[in-house]
Structure 1
Amino acid sequence: MTGRIDARLSELAIVLPKAAAPMANYVPWVITGNLVFISGQGPVGPNGVEYAGKLGRDHDVEAGRKAARLTALNVIAQLREAVGGNLDRVKRCVKLVGFVNSTPEFNQQPAVINGASDLMVEIFGDAGRHARSAVSTPSLPVDISVEVEAIFEIE
């Protein structure tokens, strides 16, 4: 039997990717109490990194939104692992922190990270509404354009 969130993913025609292994000496998620902390994820698709490069030089805002959405799918894939496959355990997306690899002149980081925020609301409804930061950075690991970390409350 599928759960409510699995049904919602199906309705949206969203297939979550396989949760990626960490790139260094850290774990992809940690549960403490009723909170799940998801380590920073990037825009990795079936063929590897997508949207490599900087916003404002290599990509426009719309491409950045798509990168953030793909990144959020990877966040949810890690979350699914953390909750043993049962996304119905998620009570709320508490916070997203989005990092945007961008030129000094680029100032649309919030619009880019909306790609991740919008996906959380699409999937989790009101429980997907969250506190958030959207921060510019001069570079990110392996030249990814966007990185998102997250905190979720679970049952």
Structure 2
Amino acid sequence: MISQIFHQLGLTPPLVVRADLPFEPCVRIGDIVYISGQIPERGKEITAIGKVGDGVSLDEARKAAELCAANVLFWLDRELQGDLDRIVRVAKLTVYVNAAAGFSQISQVGNGASELFLRILGSRGEHARSALGMAGLPLGVAVEVDAIVHVR
């Protein structure tokens, strides 16, 4: 289970409460799993709100991206019934950064998410990635991450 892996690595395991929204957090079609955009939330607490580069530091944004990635893994773990060995490879991450005008370190924010996947999944966590600066994100969060994952 994901919580055991996180504890072994000295990390806080993700805790996500399903929001009452008109879409699924995770959808599997054949051997592909699509994970909806995850925000930096732990339980009912959102940990990073605001513009990166204006109120939210690069380090805070990287940690927020890592938490978003942990939440992606939370839903993936649920979809795979606790068996992350069924992950063939993380195919694609998209990292959305609520960026202040002129903030250009968007890729470095995305590294927070990418590095967590590599740490947890090793070579199966290597992925293609887009990191995009946005004018705003839901609830004013600093970062959001979604993923496409090949599973068996």
TM-score of the two chains, using structure 2 as the length reference: 0.93
Task: Find out whether 1:91 has 2:79 as its counterpart.
Answer: no
Residues 99-138 of structure 1: matches in 2 within 5 Å?
99-138=96-135
Shift of 1:140: 0.5
Deviation at 1:30, TM superposition (A): 0.5
1:9 is the counterpart of 2:3: no
- TM, length-normalised to structure 1: 0.91
For the 8 Å contact 1:20–1:78, the answer to whether it is kept is no
- What's 1:154 paired with? 151
For residue 21 of structure 1, report the CA deviation from its aligned partner: 1.1
**Deviation beyond 3 Å, 4+ runs, structure 1:** 5-10
**How far has the Cα of 1:6 moved from its partner?**
6.8
Q: List runs of 5+ in structure 2 lacking aligned partners.
A: none
Any conservation in 2 of the 1:51–1:145 contact (CA below 8 Å)?
yes
Task: Tell me what 2:30 maps to.
Answer: 33
1:79: Cα distance to partner? 0.6
Report deviation, 1:19. 3.5
Deviation at 1:88, TM superposition (A): 1.2
Deviation at 1:18, TM superposition (A): 3.0
Unaligned 5+ segments in structure 1 are none
Report the counterpart of residue 142 of structure 2 in structure 1. 145
Letter in 2 for 1:60: S
**Superposition CA RMSD, Å:** 1.7
Aligned length: 152
CA offsets 1:25-75 (integer angstroms, 9 cap, x no match): 100011011011000000002451011101010112111101100111111
* Structure 2 partner of 1:62: 59
